[in-house]
Structure 1
Amino acid sequence: MTLKKLTASPAAPGVPFYTPHQDPPAGTALKKDSSPVPTVFTPLTIRGLTLQNRFAVSPMCMYSANNGHLTDFHLVHLGQYALHGTPLTIVEATAVTPNGRISPEDSGLWQDSQIAPLKRVTDFIHSQGQKVGIQLAHAGRKASTLAPWHYRTLGKEVATEELGGWPDNLWAPSPIPWAEGFPTPKEMTLAQIQDLIQAWKSAASRAVKAGVDLIEIHGAHGYLLTEFLSPITNQRTDQYGGAPFPNRIRLLLEIITAIRSVIPPSMPLFLRISATEWMSHSSQSWDLAQSKKLASLVADLGVDLLDVSSGGNNPDQKIEAHPYYQIDLASEIREHLRKEGKKMLIGAVGMVTSAEMARDVVQGEEGDETVEVVDGEHGTKARADLVLVARQYLREPEFVLKVAAELGVGVRLPLQYSRAPFPKKKKGVEQGKL
């Protein structure tokens, strides 16, 4: 069906339904005077992609897919963030093989039938003038578990075969279970490792067909790639493991190269890592020093942004938690890369719940994307280039618009919602402190 062209309200281009063209997209700063715009509301260009502000929806598992296929739930869940001014929404951890799902209800991209429901989501996000990414993943020894609400009800975490799970077909670098009471995974053979690399490559190709704007590799939180990186969980004696650092990072580097070979040169590639597994009390573990070393290497392989998280690979981890505990890790890696002359960007995650915190994470000179600068008012320097938010978006899908109001930044609203702007903070209350 051909959509009727409306001259007074032109349609969004490139989508099979009518919705007004959001030009500029919601969340774009509308500079009306000479006052500076906080860096968090300035554009960021990553390869061929430009975001109108520095926010992104971090991948969040929803445990709501149908045999790996996204559903109308995901259309509504993910679409709301684009509608409310977030320039980049990253689809939750999406398994590259069936046994790579965290739960039986996880998203997947191991077969062609999973392309169409993903494209429905990308079409809507694009109709709002926003961008969409997808996080490709394999859960490794942490696969075949139940969604949180299921194990709270049933009193167990493992998804048995009766509950749709595959506890006898878990993959890992070494046969070490996640914790007591969990299945023992199978040590991957060299042939399975090669098949896995091809699975990541094929999933990336399907993602491109579905219209995504970028791909993120999930190398964090104790899932398969983390398990290969860590000397605690990787006790192999071949070229993919053991004590030598080059062996433990080999699989990740090969996956990066494989994905980069099948996506457009203009498409950004992100990588999420756990900067430390918080196991310094152990005789050996993955730590910040190794993350810095890895960052330098992946920057040269075509990774455009390092999404810095932490933990998740060992139930005995001892996290030193405070509001900036992960942002500080990101900042250290960013500083290391700048000293080495690397231009890879850094994304910060974790506990970003307020306007001032979101502002301070990336605050720099207007338009600055790479150089750390001191913010004279707060005496702090930019810690990252992109703010990835998760749980706060669950509380407030309109988080970007609310932050703009609290910082006193005028931004474009979605056309349909423009009659209901957020009230700005009164001077002398919160705005005066910013």
Structure 2
Amino acid sequence: MAELFSPFTLRDITFKNRIAVSPMSQYRARDGHANGWHVVHLGRFAMGGAGLVYAEATAVEPNGRRTHGDLGLWQDAQIDDLIPITEFIRQEGSIPGIQLGHAGRKASERRPWHGETPVDDEDVSQRNEAPWKAIAPSPIPYADGWPAPAEMSEVDIEQVIASFGEAAKRSQEAGFKIIEVYAAHGFLVHQFLSPIANQRMDRWGGSNENRRRFAVEVAKSIRANWPEAYPLAFRLSATDWLEDGIEVEDAVETAKALKAAGVDMIDCSTGGIGGKERPRRMIIEQGFQVPFAERIREDTDVATMAVGFLWDAKVCEDLLHTGKADMIALAREFLDDPNWPLHAAKELGSNENYAMWPIESGWWLMKRERLLNKLGIR
């Protein structure tokens, strides 16, 4: 069997294969509540054979939403809408996961198709969506033209840490089996980690150890409210790709500290700390972030997930076979092809006669294939 389709276990949770669906924000929630769109969007990936299906970035506080359309788990009333999603994913043999996050200084943003700029009076008049004040480690705007966030007080920091723990409780009640903390791409946890966004000189900044304190405390807060049997992951930006920003050596030390706090896997991404332009050091090609997953895995002995511009099944199989990561994650490739795992299995010789497909569709496809072969049509 291909390595891509071998099982993988973290704590007491076993994924049937090593393919994960990355969190992909849909901006279709209302007041943080999931709806039918999320059921279908996520359910189709479970039907398509992914071993792990992550729900999108889910805010732990109302002011931690990136947009008005973000999912949330800041109140108990939001739990019930998520239960049909997790139940369906489990019924199809996949593991339901959730990404918990807080947007920090990236909060109060328009949806991408509305411009990905700060919410303003136009949004109030056109969509009845008002802006709110963002918070961050330091009062530094995310990008040119963005308002300065409010610098978080000690009370603010402790409250957000506690909110991650409360959201973890709700995640369990909603039926999720793994949590990933969004500590990448310029969101709040990443803002604390990066010296570009965090210029504090108290116990939450000023040194590498102090800057990672927030991430570690978030991990501890979740671990205290999350079953011991269930895994906890962090998505890190392993480098900011910028001078005076995070480098992979910093990410390695952060991963070590997170592992000591009960984190089981690092999802290795990069970039996103600020601005709209891609940093010059960031050269995008297939699998360009895989070396970071390999480095963190080697130097910390913690499981890693490789993500970013992965679409070729043979490339994914090779990076797993050579020990560069323990799992792979795809996002937009799944939007284009929700059945990517099933097609990858066929390419790698692991899906003879559509055996891995749900019987309701695999049976029909096998029958068609036999007829086409008999007729010599293809």
TM-score normalised by structure 1 residue count: 0.80
* Paired positions, count: 358
> 2:43 — aligned with what?
79
1:417 to 2:375 alignment: no
> 2:204 — aligned with what?
240
> 1:362 — aligned with what?
320
Q: Identity of counterpart residues, as a percentage?
A: 39
- Alpha-carbon distance, 1:314 to partner: 2.3
1:140 to 2:104 alignment: yes
What is the 5 A alignment of 1:176-195? 176-195=140-159
- Alpha-carbon distance, 1:306 to partner: 0.4
> 1:119 — aligned with what?
83
- Equivalent of 1:349 in 282, 302, 307: 307
> 1:12 — aligned with what?
none
Q: In 1, distance between residues paired with 2:69 and 2:160?
A: 21
Moved more, 165-174 or 257-266: 165-174
Q: In 2, distance between residues paired with 1:149 and 1:167?
A: 17
> 2:162 — aligned with what?
198
- Alpha-carbon distance, 1:168 to partner: 4.7
Deviations 1:363-399 (A, max 9, x none): 1xxxxxxxxxxxxxxxxx2210001110100000000
> 1:220 — aligned with what?
184
8 Å Cα contact 1:172-1:188 kept in structure 2: yes
8 Å Cα contact 2:16-2:93 kept in structure 1: no
> 1:160 — aligned with what?
120
8 Å Cα contact 2:108-2:132 kept in structure 1: no
Q: In 2, distance between residues paired with 1:194 and 1:164?
A: 32
Q: In 1, distance between residues paired with 2:103 and 2:2?
A: 38
> 1:332 — aligned with what?
295
> 1:253 — aligned with what?
216
3-state SS, counterpart of residue 273 of structure 1: strand
Q: In 2, distance between residues paired with 1:252 and 1:232?
A: 16
> 1:129 — aligned with what?
93
Q: In 2, distance between residues paired with 1:76 and 1:41?
A: 24
The code of the aligned residue for 2:241 comes to: W
The code of the aligned residue for 1:416 comes to: E
Q: In 1, distance between residues paired with 2:274 and 2:177?
A: 33
> 1:14 — aligned with what?
none
- Equivalent of 2:3 in 27, 31, 39: 39
> 2:269 — aligned with what?
309
3-state SS, counterpart of residue 117 of structure 1: coil
The code of the aligned residue for 2:141 comes to: P
> 2:374 — aligned with what?
none
Q: In 2, distance between residues paired with 1:188 and 1:297?
A: 23
1:293 to 2:253 alignment: yes
3-state SS, counterpart of residue 143 of structure 2: coil
In structure 1, stretches of 5+ residues that fail to align are 1-36, 364-380, 424-434
Moved more, 175-184 or 395-404: 175-184
Deviations 1:294-347 (A, max 9, x none): 11221122111100000000225331222121111111111212xxxx3x2100
> 2:326 — aligned with what?
385
The code of the aligned residue for 2:19 comes to: F
3-state SS, counterpart of residue 418 of structure 1: helix
Q: In 2, distance between residues paired with 1:131 and 1:272?
A: 18
Higher helix share: 2
In structure 2, stretches of 5+ residues that fail to align are 370-378
- Alpha-carbon distance, 1:417 to partner: 1.1
- Alpha-carbon distance, 1:413 to partner: 1.6
Q: In 1, distance between residues paired with 2:174 and 2:344?
A: 31
Deviations 1:83-109 (A, max 9, x none): 111121000000001111111100000
- Alpha-carbon distance, 1:237 to partner: 1.6
Moved more, 309-318 or 71-80: 309-318
Deviations 1:106-139 (A, max 9, x none): 0000011110011111111112122100000001
> 2:343 — aligned with what?
402
- Alpha-carbon distance, 1:169 to partner: 1.1
Moved more, 218-227 or 141-150: 141-150
4+ residue runs over 2 A deviation: 163-168, 314-318
> 1:88 — aligned with what?
52
* Cα 1:268–1:57 shift into 2, 3 Å: same
Q: In 1, distance between residues paired with 2:356 and 2:286?
A: 30
- Alpha-carbon distance, 1:160 to partner: 2.1
Q: In 2, distance between residues paired with 1:289 and 1:196?
A: 27
- Alpha-carbon distance, 1:415 to partner: 1.7
Q: In 1, distance between residues paired with 2:294 and 2:204?
A: 29
3-state SS, counterpart of residue 307 of structure 1: strand
* Cα 1:166–1:138 shift into 2, 3 Å: farther
The code of the aligned residue for 1:359 comes to: E
8 Å Cα contact 1:168-1:183 kept in structure 2: no
The code of the aligned residue for 1:346 comes to: T
3-state SS, counterpart of residue 180 of structure 2: strand
Superposed CA RMSD: 1.6
8 Å Cα contact 2:19-2:341 kept in structure 1: yes
3-state SS, counterpart of residue 264 of structure 1: coil
Q: In 2, distance between residues paired with 1:63 and 1:268?
A: 27
The code of the aligned residue for 2:7 comes to: P
8 Å Cα contact 1:138-1:225 kept in structure 2: yes
- Alpha-carbon distance, 1:412 to partner: 2.1
- Alpha-carbon distance, 1:402 to partner: 0.3
- Alpha-carbon distance, 1:164 to partner: 5.4
